[in-house]
Amino acid sequence: MTSASKRRVAYYYDADVGNFSYGLGHPMKPHRMRMTHQLVSSYGMLEKMDVISLMLTAETQHQWPARATPVQMTRFHTDEYIDFLHRVSPETAQEMTYGGTRFLVGEDNPAFDGLFEFCSISAGGSIDAAKRLNEGKSDIGINWAGGLHHAKKREASGFCYVNDIVLAILELLRYHARVLYIDIDCHHGDGVEEAFYTTDRVLTCSFHKQKDYFPGTGRAEDIGKGKGKGYSVNVPFLNGVTDEEYRSVFEPVIHHIMEWYRPGAVILQCGADSLSGDKLGVFNLSMHGHASCVRFLRTFNVPLILLGGGGYTIKNVSSAWTYETACAIGIEKDLDLNLPFTPYLEYYGPRYRLEVEPSNMTDDNGPYLEAMKMQALEGLRDLPFAPSVGLHQVPGTDLAEEVGIRVRDEDEESELSDLDVQLAQRIRDVYAAEDSETAASSDTESITSQPRRSLMSYFREAEGKKRRNDGSSDDDATEDDDETEDERSTDGDRRRRETRREPKANGIRSTRHSRSRAPLIVETVDGLVFGQKSWLTLPESGSRSRNKSSSGKPKRYFFKRDLADEGMRMVSTHGHEEDDEDEESSDEVPLDGRDDMSLDDGDDQAGSASTTGVEQRNGASRSWRDTPDATDSIASFQ
């Protein structure tokens, strides 16, 4: 092992990770990883690390990051869940989740385009970082795209789909007898804790907000079960914890764990929603207070992996992770806090400095903090010193796994499926199965009996409070994010805006439409044309006869938007029955949206349900490429 002052750092970045989007109005923005990478590059840190990146230039040839395969993901997740992630799309999500009752439950985890590729990038970087530590090629691995600690064995949770942390720990356990996982995200790392709740080979330690906060788990009394009793450490804070208070608890607890547990490797999840000013966070940590956890762990000279996590004020996220990258290298004292030029420099105004300053929010901790620290230390004193593991051969990988082929005997597969069903029975209820001698207080019982709220509900609540405090002035709007008025949602169910129709010169009425380049596939009933992101009416004259086939069923129309003249050109029609071949297939249907109302993303289905005489068929929500005869119909403009 190299000295503590000089560490070999492997840095993982995939240029595609910033291209994904959870959807309009969603607080999780993968674009923050691209902002972080640009800032790290502008500070000249890439030359000081082993960069495993997909961005290859003529000057610097970097190594390519390995993306996780479905076989690697099934080391923790169930086969059916990974197969679901591989096949799901926004159009098929409702059907494949059985109405949102399995795999993707609730509103936190949408099925966006490229979902599986995003998961493979996140998990691949964390797994490869663990492999490099095992092989002795690196002392510290950094993957800011990882740290998705809420994902469960067979379902997504809290913006997380594949638990890259669990997969990285499983890789580390191939060579190390004990692994320590530390979580400084504002939310409890429930997915990782549940995965290793009954083993002493992984000690999980989480510093978070617990009471009346997502996911509601992580009480100080939750210490593990069976062989893993005592190896789950939870330190719940209250609102407004400061740098000094956080450090006064973090350093004594982690120092005791490192001296007594003696882990062979450490994973630190650096969730940035614990920073001051985060949209979903309730702590008051500065950038330096957050990074002090990285600096402290670096002094132990133990193989270390730094992962991302939460963080929803993206300029603060990129600033903190850039500074912590410098801490891993050991050059944080040499950084100029005045930002260098970066393509996203305008995000960091008006000060344009590498900083996240604490606010004057109320600190609710006080004497409670000391009690939590003493409770955590008392629980650690009862643990045996460095639990050992019997000697065994390091598990290898066969050729089939290396090339992505998984061969199983049919009997073995059926047995694993039955076991899978048994183990997956609402794994999140593990916290309710406490030891018989543990008596929960009445206050705690009332908290755990409440239905679990989604992260998005907390986001809407925080946005509502902010709007009430700031009023309706545009001058007080936050300038650090690319959020617009359409992205801000209110409490309760979404309501479709009342559309205001105005007559056009040619007798056509329209609403403002989205500017997607893909053609719409729409169906008509009584002259009304409805699509995924747009709807309009055809001219009244002759529309009723043209829009129905001989059987009386609605026809399907293929449109292409012309962005130059704000129009849409009908390129073909297909009825559910045989259509007349002499029907026109190139009618011009203008669609002018300059003076129309805009529709919120996601309101299309609500709009179709509330419009008289409109029925949306299942086929209308499918991708236009999957529609029968779409290739021939669209050929005229490809």
Active-site residue set: 150
Distance, CA of 427 to CA of 581 (rounded, Å): 58
At a CB cut-off of 8 Å and minimum separation 6, what does 29 contact? 21, 22, 312, 314, 481
> What is the C-alpha separation between 98 and 75, in angstroms, rounded?
25
**Which one-letter DSSP state was computed for residue 108?**
S
What are 266's two structure tokens?
Answer: 């450490």
CB under 8 Å to 135, separation ≥6 — which residues? none
| Total residue count of the chain as it appears in this document | 638
Strand 567-575 to strand 555-562: parallel, antiparallel, or no bridges (unpaired)? Answer: antiparallel
Three-class SS string for 467-499?
HHHHCCCHHHCCCCCCCCHHHCCCCCCCCCCCC
Evaluated on CA atoms 606, 607, 613, 619, the torsion sign reads: negative
**Cβ-based neighbour number of residue 429 at 10 Å:** 10
Alpha carbons 140 and 50: distance in angstroms, whole number: 10
CB within 8 A of 351, min separation 6: which ones? none
The span from the CA of 466 to the CA of 477, in Å, is 9
- Partners of 204 in the beta sheet? 181, 232
Cis before residue 215, ω within 30 degrees of 0? yes
Q: Which residues pair with 233 in a beta bridge?
A: 205
- Cis before 350? omega within 30: yes
In one-letter notation, the amino acid at residue 365 is N
